[in-house]
Structure 1
Amino acid sequence: MALTFTLEPPITPALRDQVLDLWTDVSNAGGAVGFVPPVAREQVRPELVRHFVQMTEGRTRLLAGHDAHGDLAAVAFLARSADPLSAHTLGLYSVMVHPKHQGKGHGRALMAAAEAAARATDGIEVIRLSCRGGHGLERFYAGLGYREAGRIPGAVRVAPGDDRDEIIMVLPLG
């Protein structure tokens, strides 16, 4: 079943809680979205609030994907660079698909919706994102046309003695 994507949906208390639950569930399933399991909702909440503040300031946009039952299944945050020298770039952050919806093509659909949103944004020529090494995510993004633009060895510490590379990926839209 396909997801329905909405860019900048109204932020209701229900949607806020659904995003918080999604982020927590993805993190606890081992998803590379800023936390290491086990994580509780209250540990994720400050990061979600930070994203919502950036949305209120007009710096970040939420892309939400709902399943046929209306349940939140996927999200990504899109942010235009605040640096005037890279204002032509759009960053994707906290890209996630709920574990129960993974393996169904929803990640590809989310990325296609994010690309469409970027293409519809005046002046955007490049999408950029970073991913944590050790998950094979760079292969997933490469399959969507992204290319590795840089790698910071050991930049992400998921546990003592377990450092992962931060991999910067870009998709030129030209």
Structure 2
Amino acid sequence: MAITFELDPSIDPDLRDGIVRLWTDVSNAGGSVGFVPPVSHETVRPELMKHLVAMAEGRTRLLIGRDEDGSVAATAFLAHNTHRLMAHWLWLSTVMVHPRHQGKGYGRDLLTAAADAARGIEGIEAVRLTCRGGEGLERFYGSCGYKEVGRVPDAIRVAPGEDRDDITMLLSLGRVH
């Protein structure tokens, strides 16, 4: 089984709904993508719309991964940093692989495709992302070349009395001139 990636796909209702289904399924499987289960499509859709608006404004780009059936199997959003002194790096967010594809190497493939996409953007030297502590995500990102560069203890409250660290990771792409 293979996954194919596309940067900046044309957004149509099928793709939009596929991303909503992916995000809902990942969230409900316990994925750390901005929600705590249970969530519904109606909960996720407004968050996706924020990303789509940022895409329409040219601030964000979408990387989509499709499985062999053509279903949305993975996503990552690449957001330009709007601060003029930080325009040399971008944010990677909403990094997701469908639960049915976990353990197939698709997450690593997605991060490689995202780094390749970032390298193709003039002036970009690094990619930053944040992840929720307590999930082992920093080890996974570390195995993909990211370095932990910051941690805010107990910044994410997933439930009353259950706080997690907010971890910042950085992937250096090398200096671009």
Same-fold call, TM cutoff 0.5: yes
Alpha-carbon deviation of 1:2?
A: 1.5
What do the CA deviations read for 1:69-104 (whole angstroms, capped 9, x no partner)?
111100000011001010000110000000001100
Moved beyond 2 Å, runs of 4+: none
Unaligned runs of 5+ in 1: none
Alignment of 1:1-174 (within 5 A): 1-174=1-174
Q: 1:64, 1:99 → 2: CA distance? A: 16
Q: Any idea what SS the aligned residue of 2:141 has? A: helix
Please list the CA deviations of residues 4-39 of structure 1 after superposition, one character each: whole Å capped at 9, or x if unmatched: 000010000000000000000000000000000001
Name the SS of the counterpart of 2:73 in structure 1: strand
Pairwise CA RMSD: 0.5
- Report the residue type matching 1:35 in the other structure: F
Alpha-carbon separation, structure 1, partners of 2:40 and 2:99:
16
Instruction: Output the CA distance in 1 between the equivalents of 2:120 and 2:86.
Output: 17
Tell me the SS of whatever aligns to 2:150. Answer: strand
Deviations 1:122-147, CA, capped at 9 Å, x for gaps: 00001000000011000000001110
- Which amino acid in 2 is paired with 1:60? T
For 2:148 and 2:131, locate their aligned partners in 1 and report how far apart those are by CA, in whole Å.
Answer: 10
* TM-score (structure 2 length as normaliser): 0.97
SS in structure 1 opposite 2:10? coil
Q: Percent of aligned positions with the same letter in both sequences?
A: 64
Distance 1:7 1:172 in 2: 20
What amino acid does structure 2 have at the position aligned with 1:99? Answer: P
Question: What's the CA shift for 1:68?
Answer: 1.2
Task: Specify the SS of the correspondent of 2:134.
Answer: coil
Cα offset, 1:64, TM superposition: 0.3
For the residues of structure 2 that align with 1:107 and 1:2, how far apart are their CA atoms? 12
**In 1, distance between residues paired with 2:62 and 2:70?**
17
Supply the distance in 1 between the matched residues of 2:105 and 2:171 (Cα, whole angstroms).
19
**Matched residues in 2 for 1:90 and 1:101: separation?**
27
